[in-house]
């Protein structure tokens, strides 16, 4: 064998080793997911190098941004809602009646993501075309430059601005047909802001639907069955989710290390665990093979230094039942192979117990981010079509 052939063989072997990731048997198009995951890891590594060179964190994300480009069916504009950048998508065709609206919040672990990313731009266009809706896709400041509650406050300020009668009239939106939606960290912000609206006497317009797509909803227990089962399943590893959570609150690594050990909640907050006790809140089939153990408590000074991780605005599952009772029709999408699966499942249980109407869609062969990659994966486009059909029928 010649040197060139040997080098090629070694290169192919190394590439295969880097790309290959063990996946569950029932995931559709596994090699496409492996390649996507490899590209994401390369992008994260490149972002780290660029950050060392003085670029902003996750600078690679700029390559995924697209300008506000209108087409034959959709008018796209970038503007500000109460100083918060948003991208507005409107149907070009005139309507004799008021339209429904979707206020959408992107994911990205509070550290990345952008309404201008091609994935979110495409999602919003599909919503406009399928629903004949006005779509507001909001941005918010990101960690680690900004920590909680900045992200929450940005989204809430933009949402409150949109829910004013004058603004809705400007965009031709029916105030009785508004949905607040988001995926992952965006689902977290959608859940938190929808709860906050219930306490805001200045907001007179009620949201009709909240739609939470594989949302992150609690910080107390990093050892749920879904975290155990899917710790190494892309697109979201357990370590990465804990990293995102900790960076949401602080750049201090102390909190991250405590969360990884699941020893971050002080004994004084022990009463909160009833809101996230998976042994009572998860359906039986998701508990099989797992034993619930009482939480290990962390030092009290962690909660004093970083109170955000115990704040209901960051962890919607910490709301008491009386708060949950006022929430609107709720759509929750969970994926089997996702560390955040059980957050969504527990919220389904708690909302139903509080008397809230809930529609739960569980994707048995789904992974975290499946809707964001709907352009690339058959399963993603299939689930997106089902999701848009449901919105069309209920919003």
CA 140, 142, 146, 149 torsion-angle sign: positive
Query: What pLDDT is attached to residue 306?
Result: 95
221, 338, 342, 343: the catalytic one is 338
Query: What pLDDT is attached to residue 99?
Result: 97
338 is catalytic: yes
Q: What does the block give as tokens for 6?
A: 């040997």
SS3 at position 352: helix
Q: What does the block give as tokens for 392?
A: 């069309």
- The answer to whether the beta carbons of residues 232 and 202 sit under 8 Å apart is no
184, 246, 269, 372: the catalytic one is 184
Query: What pLDDT is attached to residue 253?
Result: 96
Query: What pLDDT is attached to residue 44?
Result: 76
Concatenated DSSP letters for 178-223? Answer: EEEEEETHHHHHHHHHHHHHTT-TT--SPPSEEEEES----SS-S-
**β 99-105/209-213 pair status:** unpaired
Exposure of 114 in the CB half-sphere (CA atoms within 13 A) = 16
Query: What pLDDT is attached to residue 10?
Result: 53
368 is catalytic: yes
Contacts of 255 (CB under 8 A, 6+ apart): 246, 249, 264, 302, 305, 306, 309
Show the DSSP H helices in 310-377 as ranges: 321-324, 341-353
Query: What pLDDT is attached to residue 4?
Result: 65
Which residues, given as ranges, of the chain have pLDDT below 50? none
Query: What pLDDT is attached to residue 15?
Result: 55
**β 358-367/84-91 pair status:** unpaired
Integer Cα distance of 190 and 247 in angstroms = 19
**β 134-138/99-105 pair status:** parallel
Q: What does the block give as tokens for 136?
A: 């507001």
106, 147, 264, 368: the catalytic one is 368
Integer Cα distance of 184 and 216 in angstroms = 6
221 is catalytic: no
**β 358-367/99-105 pair status:** unpaired
Contacts of 7 (CB under 8 A, 6+ apart): none
**Structure confidence by residue, pLDDT tens digits, 364-389:** 999 999 998 877 888 899 999 999 99
3-state helix, strand, coil in the chain (%, to 5): 45, 15, 35
């Amino acid at each position: 064998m010649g040197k060139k052939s040997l080098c090629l063989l070694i290169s192919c072997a190394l590439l295969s080793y880097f790309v290959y990731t063990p996946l569950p048997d029932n995931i559709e198009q596994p090699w496409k997911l492996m390649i996507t995951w490899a590209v994401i890891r390369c992008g994260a590594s490149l972002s780290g190098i660029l950050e060392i060179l003085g670029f902003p964190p996750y600078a690679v994300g700029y390559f995924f941004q697209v300008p506000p480009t209108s087409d034959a069916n959709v008018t796209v504009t970038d503007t500000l809602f109460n100083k918060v950048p948003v991208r507005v998508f409107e149907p070009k065709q005139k309507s004799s009646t008021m339209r429904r609206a979707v206020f959408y919040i992107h994911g990205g672990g509070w550290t990345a993501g952008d309404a201008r990313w091609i994935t979110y731009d495409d999602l919003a266009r599909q919503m406009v075309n399928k629903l004949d809706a006005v779509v507001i896709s909001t941005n918010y400041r990101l960690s680690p430059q900004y920590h909680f509650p900045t992200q929450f406050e940005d989204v809430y300020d933009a949402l409150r601005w949109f829910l004013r009668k004058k603004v809705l009239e400007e965009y031709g939106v029916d105030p009785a047909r508004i949905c607040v939606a988001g995926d992952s960290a965006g689902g977290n912000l959608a859940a938190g802001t929808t709860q906050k609206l219930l306490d805001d006497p200045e907001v007179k317009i009620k949201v009709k639907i909240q739609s939470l797509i594989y949302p992150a909803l609690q910080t107390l227990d990093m050892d749920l069955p879904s975290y155990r089962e899917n710790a190494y399943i892309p697109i979201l590893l357990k370590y990465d989710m804990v990293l995102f959570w900790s960076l949401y609150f602080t750049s201090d690594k102390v909190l991250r290390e405590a969360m990884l050990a699941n020893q971050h909640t002080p004994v004084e907050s022990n009463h909160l665990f009833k809101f996230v006790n998976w042994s009572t809140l998860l359906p039986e089939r998701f508990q099989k093979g797992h034993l619930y153990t009482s939480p290990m408590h962390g030092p009290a000074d962690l909660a004093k230094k970083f109170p955000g991780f115990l704040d209901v605005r960051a962890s919607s599952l910490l709301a008491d039942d009386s708060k949950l009772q006022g929430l609107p029709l709720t759509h929750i999408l969970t994926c089997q192979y996702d560390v955040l699966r059980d957050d969504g499942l527990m919220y389904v249980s708690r909302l139903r117990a509080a008397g809230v109407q809930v529609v739960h869609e569980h994707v048995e062969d789904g992974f975290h981010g499946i809707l964001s990659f709907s352009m690339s994966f058959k399963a993603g486009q299939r689930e997106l079509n089902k999701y848009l059909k449901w919105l069309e029928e209920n919003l």
